[in-house]
Amino acid sequence: MTGLSLIAAAWTIEVVFGWPDWLHKRIRHPVVWLGTVIAALDRTFNRAGSIGPVRYASGVIATIVVVSVAAGLAWLIGAILPESWWGFAIEALIASSLIASRSLYAHVAAVWQPLATGDLDSARHAVAQIVGRDPATLEEDGIVRASLESLAENASDGVMAPVFWGVIFGLPGIAAYKAINTLDSMIGHRSDRHAEFGGFAARLDDLVNLIPARLTGMLIAVANLKPSAFHVMVRDAGKHRSPNAGWPEAAMAGGLGIRLSGPRFYSGQIHDEPWLNGAKRDPGAVDLKRGLALYCAAMGLAGAVLIALLLGVHYAS
């Protein structure tokens, strides 16, 4: 089986079913399993008394171990499963758990629903589930901005990047990517504890998201059907603190005609980030609904491209 057919089947399963709550309650989720391993390695090898180079080297080893184990187990599963329809179905089901398009929509929609009725407290609680900034300081525009930024960035990290690497390398590719992305989210930040230990994981995550982030930005811009989305993406993507997140976020800002990013609070401190599409207005609740529609259109476009490629490969062979 090709990675193309596997990911087409896996994404279809994920869009239709997601990761059911009953299954999560019984076996949790593969990302939770990865997180448990990463946390154990962090506790064991990231020692505060170690000098910087030692902590960095320990982080390199921990990262290689986690990625190798994830990819190795995925390869082993593929090797063990028979070349039959049910073997393919099991592999596709496993791969589907590593794509997050349905859950991403649900988490952002959970912010929009209370916003639509003016319930800011409930909206703050919902947005705290998807962003790291202090929700208590956010008014409507800040809640919407944070939600749209998370939607755009995770359209790349949670959907297009796993799809991209799964198409190229099959189940081992999507598993390796998810391991790298989970490592970055857990140890890749610039805190005193993780600046050295997670430095390699953070750079590796930047590398594997380089192409998917730009593809996601292009998909958002094409789905929007407005030249402004392309213009803002190319002009402002490089202003973002992340080498990758600025592409889908700037495309979203340009497509909706609003400004994103800008100053925000983390851990009680203000971080003066530059604006994306800064000359435009602040977003409102209606823009979150528009952003969700644009996200669906972009992911639908990606799905159509995937199907077209699959059909092309089928008829070519």
pLDDT digits (tens, 9 = 90+) for 194-253: 889 999 999 999 999 999 999 999 999 999 988 889 999 999 999 999 999 999 999 999
pLDDT digits (tens, 9 = 90+) for 120-136: 999 999 999 998 777 88
Phi/psi-derived region of residue 118, left when phi > 0, alpha when psi is between -120 and 50, beta in every other case: left
Strand partners, 275: 261
| pLDDT at residue 38 in the model | 95
Inter-CA distances, 68 with 64, 75, 76, 156, Å: 6, 10, 12, 23
Look up the domain containing 141 and give its range. 3-316
Tally of domains in the chain: 1
